Structure 1
Amino acid sequence: MNILFVCSRNQWRSPTAETLYKNHQNHQVRSAGTSSSARIKVTAKLIQWADLIFVMEKRHKQRLLERFSVEIEDRQIIVLDIPDHYLFMDPELIDILQQSVSPYLKGAGE
Protein backbone atom coordinates (compact mmCIF):
# COMPACT_ATOMS: atom_id res chain seq x y z
CA MET A 1 0.00 0.00 0.00
CA ASN A 2 1.26 3.49 -0.87
CA ILE A 3 0.59 6.10 1.81
CA LEU A 4 0.91 9.87 1.43
CA PHE A 5 1.04 12.23 4.42
CA VAL A 6 0.14 15.87 3.72
CA CYS A 7 0.54 19.05 5.74
CA SER A 8 1.13 22.67 4.73
CA ARG A 9 4.86 23.12 4.19
CA ASN A 10 6.07 19.52 4.51
CA GLN A 11 8.38 20.64 7.26
CA TRP A 12 7.26 19.15 10.59
CA ARG A 13 4.10 17.07 10.70
CA SER A 14 4.06 15.09 7.46
CA PRO A 15 7.83 14.40 7.48
CA THR A 16 7.47 13.12 11.06
CA ALA A 17 4.71 10.77 9.91
CA GLU A 18 6.79 9.67 6.93
CA THR A 19 9.75 8.94 9.21
CA LEU A 20 7.57 6.95 11.63
CA TYR A 21 6.04 4.70 8.98
CA LYS A 22 8.68 4.49 6.24
CA ASN A 23 10.36 1.25 7.32
CA HIS A 24 7.31 -1.00 7.31
CA GLN A 25 7.56 -3.85 4.85
CA ASN A 26 3.92 -3.74 3.75
CA HIS A 27 3.70 -0.15 2.58
CA GLN A 28 5.61 2.69 0.96
CA VAL A 29 5.34 6.15 2.51
CA ARG A 30 5.90 9.67 1.22
CA SER A 31 5.04 13.16 2.44
CA ALA A 32 4.27 16.49 0.79
CA GLY A 33 2.77 19.90 1.47
CA THR A 34 -0.04 21.97 0.00
CA SER A 35 1.70 25.35 0.28
CA SER A 36 3.67 26.92 -2.56
CA SER A 37 6.54 27.14 -0.07
CA ALA A 38 6.42 23.43 0.77
CA ARG A 39 9.68 21.52 0.88
CA ILE A 40 8.05 18.85 -1.33
CA LYS A 41 4.84 20.00 -3.01
CA VAL A 42 1.83 17.77 -3.59
CA THR A 43 1.56 16.84 -7.26
CA ALA A 44 -0.93 14.94 -9.37
CA LYS A 45 1.68 12.21 -9.72
CA LEU A 46 1.96 11.82 -5.93
CA ILE A 47 -1.83 11.70 -5.59
CA GLN A 48 -2.03 9.00 -8.27
CA TRP A 49 0.75 7.04 -6.54
CA ALA A 50 -1.08 7.04 -3.18
CA ASP A 51 -3.61 4.40 -2.18
CA LEU A 52 -4.35 6.20 1.07
CA ILE A 53 -3.85 9.87 1.95
CA PHE A 54 -3.61 11.30 5.45
CA VAL A 55 -3.96 15.06 5.79
CA MET A 56 -3.21 16.92 8.99
CA GLU A 57 -6.11 19.39 8.78
CA LYS A 58 -9.45 19.78 6.98
CA ARG A 59 -8.04 22.66 4.94
CA HIS A 60 -5.44 20.32 3.44
CA LYS A 61 -8.19 17.99 2.22
CA GLN A 62 -10.05 20.96 0.76
CA ARG A 63 -6.94 22.13 -1.09
CA LEU A 64 -6.41 18.66 -2.54
CA LEU A 65 -10.03 18.52 -3.67
CA GLU A 66 -9.73 21.95 -5.30
CA ARG A 67 -6.42 21.32 -7.07
CA PHE A 68 -6.63 17.61 -7.89
CA SER A 69 -10.33 16.82 -8.21
CA VAL A 70 -9.83 14.20 -10.95
CA GLU A 71 -6.83 12.48 -9.36
CA ILE A 72 -8.41 12.43 -5.89
CA GLU A 73 -11.67 10.83 -7.04
CA ASP A 74 -10.87 7.24 -6.06
CA ARG A 75 -8.59 8.00 -3.11
CA GLN A 76 -9.42 7.67 0.55
CA ILE A 77 -8.48 10.85 2.43
CA ILE A 78 -8.28 10.73 6.21
CA VAL A 79 -8.27 14.01 8.16
CA LEU A 80 -6.14 13.60 11.30
CA ASP A 81 -7.01 16.99 12.87
CA ILE A 82 -3.43 17.65 14.02
CA PRO A 83 -2.76 21.38 14.37
CA ASP A 84 0.53 22.99 13.37
CA HIS A 85 1.90 23.18 16.91
CA TYR A 86 4.72 20.65 16.71
CA LEU A 87 8.31 20.43 15.54
CA PHE A 88 9.82 17.51 13.63
CA MET A 89 9.77 14.29 15.71
CA ASP A 90 8.16 16.02 18.71
CA PRO A 91 7.29 13.17 21.14
CA GLU A 92 3.71 14.43 21.53
CA LEU A 93 3.29 14.57 17.74
CA ILE A 94 4.64 11.01 17.46
CA ASP A 95 2.11 9.79 20.04
CA ILE A 96 -0.77 11.54 18.26
CA LEU A 97 0.28 10.16 14.87
CA GLN A 98 0.63 6.62 16.18
CA GLN A 99 -2.78 6.74 17.84
CA SER A 100 -4.44 8.31 14.79
CA VAL A 101 -2.79 6.43 11.91
CA SER A 102 -2.16 2.92 13.24
CA PRO A 103 -5.86 1.85 13.28
CA TYR A 104 -6.06 2.50 9.52
CA LEU A 105 -2.97 0.39 8.87
CA LYS A 106 -4.04 -2.69 10.83
CA GLY A 107 -5.56 -4.24 7.72
CA ALA A 108 -2.49 -3.26 5.70
CA GLY A 109 -0.13 -5.51 7.60
CA GLU A 110 1.06 -3.09 10.29
Structure 2
Amino acid sequence: MKLLFICSRNKWRSLTAEKVFERYNGYDVRSAGTEEGARIKVTEGLIGWSDLIFAMEKKHVRRLKNKFSYNLMNKRVICLDIPDDYRFMDEELIEILKSRVSEYIEVPELSL
Protein backbone atom coordinates (compact mmCIF):
# COMPACT_ATOMS: atom_id res chain seq x y z
CA MET A 1 0.00 0.00 0.00
CA LYS A 2 1.29 3.45 -0.94
CA LEU A 3 0.89 6.14 1.72
CA LEU A 4 1.32 9.87 1.11
CA PHE A 5 1.62 12.28 4.04
CA ILE A 6 0.97 15.98 3.48
CA CYS A 7 1.73 19.07 5.56
CA SER A 8 2.73 22.63 4.68
CA ARG A 9 6.51 22.61 4.20
CA ASN A 10 7.33 18.87 4.37
CA LYS A 11 9.97 19.49 7.02
CA TRP A 12 8.49 18.30 10.32
CA ARG A 13 5.11 16.54 10.44
CA SER A 14 4.82 14.80 7.07
CA LEU A 15 8.55 14.04 6.94
CA THR A 16 8.35 12.51 10.43
CA ALA A 17 5.39 10.40 9.28
CA GLU A 18 7.36 9.24 6.24
CA LYS A 19 10.34 8.21 8.39
CA VAL A 20 8.13 6.42 10.94
CA PHE A 21 5.90 4.47 8.53
CA GLU A 22 8.57 3.54 5.97
CA ARG A 23 9.91 1.17 8.65
CA TYR A 24 6.84 -1.05 8.35
CA ASN A 25 6.72 -3.87 5.81
CA GLY A 26 3.98 -3.62 3.23
CA TYR A 27 3.96 0.17 2.99
CA ASP A 28 5.62 2.39 0.44
CA VAL A 29 5.68 5.85 2.00
CA ARG A 30 6.32 9.36 0.71
CA SER A 31 5.63 12.86 1.97
CA ALA A 32 5.18 16.32 0.49
CA GLY A 33 4.11 19.86 1.31
CA THR A 34 1.45 22.18 -0.04
CA GLU A 35 3.42 25.45 0.13
CA GLU A 36 5.75 26.96 -2.47
CA GLY A 37 8.79 26.59 -0.19
CA ALA A 38 8.11 22.94 0.65
CA ARG A 39 11.08 20.57 0.78
CA ILE A 40 9.18 18.32 -1.65
CA LYS A 41 6.07 19.89 -3.17
CA VAL A 42 2.96 17.78 -3.73
CA THR A 43 2.36 16.98 -7.41
CA GLU A 44 -0.21 15.24 -9.59
CA GLY A 45 2.27 12.40 -9.88
CA LEU A 46 2.50 11.88 -6.13
CA ILE A 47 -1.27 11.95 -5.79
CA GLY A 48 -1.65 9.48 -8.66
CA TRP A 49 0.98 7.23 -7.08
CA SER A 50 -0.70 7.08 -3.67
CA ASP A 51 -3.34 4.66 -2.41
CA LEU A 52 -4.11 6.64 0.74
CA ILE A 53 -3.42 10.31 1.51
CA PHE A 54 -3.03 11.64 5.05
CA ALA A 55 -3.18 15.41 5.49
CA MET A 56 -2.09 16.96 8.77
CA GLU A 57 -4.74 19.73 8.86
CA LYS A 58 -8.02 20.69 7.18
CA LYS A 59 -6.23 23.49 5.32
CA HIS A 60 -4.05 20.88 3.63
CA VAL A 61 -7.13 18.93 2.52
CA ARG A 62 -8.60 22.16 1.13
CA ARG A 63 -5.41 23.01 -0.74
CA LEU A 64 -5.28 19.52 -2.24
CA LYS A 65 -8.92 19.69 -3.33
CA ASN A 66 -8.46 23.18 -4.80
CA LYS A 67 -5.40 22.26 -6.83
CA PHE A 68 -5.89 18.56 -7.58
CA SER A 69 -9.67 17.97 -7.49
CA TYR A 70 -9.63 15.85 -10.69
CA ASN A 71 -6.72 13.70 -9.44
CA LEU A 72 -8.43 13.13 -6.09
CA MET A 73 -11.70 11.78 -7.51
CA ASN A 74 -10.96 8.14 -6.62
CA LYS A 75 -8.61 8.82 -3.71
CA ARG A 76 -9.21 8.65 0.00
CA VAL A 77 -7.94 11.76 1.79
CA ILE A 78 -7.86 11.62 5.58
CA CYS A 79 -7.32 14.60 7.84
CA LEU A 80 -5.29 13.68 10.92
CA ASP A 81 -5.92 17.00 12.71
CA ILE A 82 -2.32 17.40 13.87
CA PRO A 83 -1.39 21.07 14.41
CA ASP A 84 1.97 22.54 13.49
CA ASP A 85 3.24 22.31 17.07
CA TYR A 86 5.95 19.69 16.64
CA ARG A 87 9.51 19.39 15.36
CA PHE A 88 10.98 16.62 13.21
CA MET A 89 10.86 13.22 14.97
CA ASP A 90 9.26 14.69 18.12
CA GLU A 91 8.33 11.75 20.40
CA GLU A 92 4.82 13.10 21.04
CA LEU A 93 4.27 13.63 17.30
CA ILE A 94 5.33 10.04 16.60
CA GLU A 95 2.85 8.69 19.16
CA ILE A 96 0.02 10.85 17.79
CA LEU A 97 0.81 9.78 14.21
CA LYS A 98 0.86 6.09 15.11
CA SER A 99 -2.39 6.38 17.04
CA ARG A 100 -4.31 8.32 14.38
CA VAL A 101 -2.97 6.46 11.35
CA SER A 102 -3.64 3.08 13.00
CA GLU A 103 -7.37 3.82 12.64
CA TYR A 104 -6.91 3.39 8.86
CA ILE A 105 -4.02 0.96 8.39
CA GLU A 106 -2.41 -1.80 10.40
CA VAL A 107 0.45 -0.40 12.48
CA PRO A 108 2.38 -3.21 14.16
CA GLU A 109 4.23 -2.43 17.36
CA LEU A 110 7.76 -1.41 16.52
CA SER A 111 10.29 -0.13 19.00
CA LEU A 112 11.92 3.12 17.95
Give TM-score scaled by structure 2 length: 0.93
Cα distance in 2 for residues equivalent to 1:92 and 1:57: 17
Cα distance in 1 for residues equivalent to 2:16 and 2:23: 13
**Identical-residue share of aligned pairs (%):** 54
> Larger % of helix: which?
1
Residues 1-110 of structure 1: pairs in structure 2 closer than 5 A: 1-106=1-106, 110=108
Cα distance in 2 for residues equivalent to 1:25 and 1:83: 28
Q: Deviations over 1:1-27 (max 9, x none)?
A: 100000000000000000000022211
Task: State the Cα distance separating 1:44 from its structure 2 match.
Answer: 0.1
Cα distance in 2 for residues equivalent to 1:98 and 1:51: 18
Look up the SS of the partner of 2:104 in the other structure. Answer: helix
Look up the SS of the partner of 2:24 in the other structure. Answer: coil
Look up the SS of the partner of 1:105 in the other structure. Answer: coil
Look up the SS of the partner of 1:37 in the other structure. Answer: coil
- Which blocks of at least 5 consecutive residues in structure 2 are unaligned? none
Look up the SS of the partner of 1:71 in the other structure. Answer: coil
Runs ≥4 residues deviating over 6 A: none
